[in-house]
Amino acid sequence: MPSRRIGGLMPKFKLVAVDMDDTLLSRDLKLTGRVREAVAAVRAAGVYFTISTGRMYRSALPFARELGLNIPLITYQGALVKNSHTGELVLYRPLPLARAREIIARIHELGYHLNGYLDDRLLVERDTPEGRRYAAMSGVEAEIVGDLLEYLDRDPIKVLTIAEEPLLDRLSAELTPLYRGKVHIVKSKPHFLEFSHPQATKGDALAYLAGCFGVKREEVMAVGDSYNDLEMLEYAGLGVAVANAREDVKKKAGYVTSAAYGDGVVEALEKFVL
């Protein structure tokens, strides 16, 4: 994806959105000193900086506070955009319950682990190793609620299933044609397949947020690593992939960093923003 230039020059970026896992965070899921310093410098320069993640809002919030962010965060792949300082709800696009039920029923047939999300709560049907690992990674305690088909009484924020990557690729190939334009289906990690509102993408949410700030598309930079970042990399004036990104994502990026994880984010910020 070529970067958009004005008069042959790179535009001045006014809004930066960065994915968390495998991008902003280190391998051990922490913010390094270099990342904190670079983000502080970006904000001091008057540039908006936000997190854009598939994580729950409550999972992303501690990192936003560590960075001192006081603007809306893009969470749940773009289904929930909420201000990290005031708690103001900016955008909410949940998955219609009827679609969620259909997808849950199909995953039940396959026997894969399921997560549901209501009111920023992590819901699981039973205690599983997959669920425990997910909860530990997210820093959020899971609630065991039994059959999600029976428990869900309104639109969930999203639904997520966990299985081996070839199994998820097969499921995605099966369901994507059936739900095109009705459900957004994306793999956020090799073992995570997510189902959300058709407009619950990081790209749609980033476009909405840019509009709120009066920032033009060409003034936006986005940084990510995985398939769920593709829409925001495509939307942004400059889409950046970190060195550890999936190869398909690198091919769509306007710039690929030489460094991985948070060091790659710092590289992009220093090269294009600071």
Give catalytic residue positions: 19
Contacts of 238 (CB under 8 A, 6+ apart): 3, 4, 10, 13, 220, 221, 222, 254, 255, 272
CA–CA separation, 206 and 270 (whole Å): 21
Q: Are strands 113-118 and 121-124 parallel, antiparallel or unpaired?
A: antiparallel
CA–CA separation, 46 and 30 (whole Å): 25
- Determine contact, residues 178/128, Cβ cutoff 8 Å: no
Q: In what order do the strands lie in the sheet with 72-75?
A: 72-75, 80-83, 89-92
CA–CA separation, 228 and 17 (whole Å): 13
Amino acid at 127: D
CA–CA separation, 20 and 24 (whole Å): 5
Q: Are strands 220-224 and 15-18 parallel, antiparallel or unpaired?
A: parallel
Give the count of beta carbons closer than 10 Å to the beta carbon of residue 149.
15
DSSP-assigned letter for residue 25: S
Q: Which two tokens stand for residue 170?
A: 């097969």
Give the count of beta carbons closer than 10 Å to the beta carbon of residue 103.
21
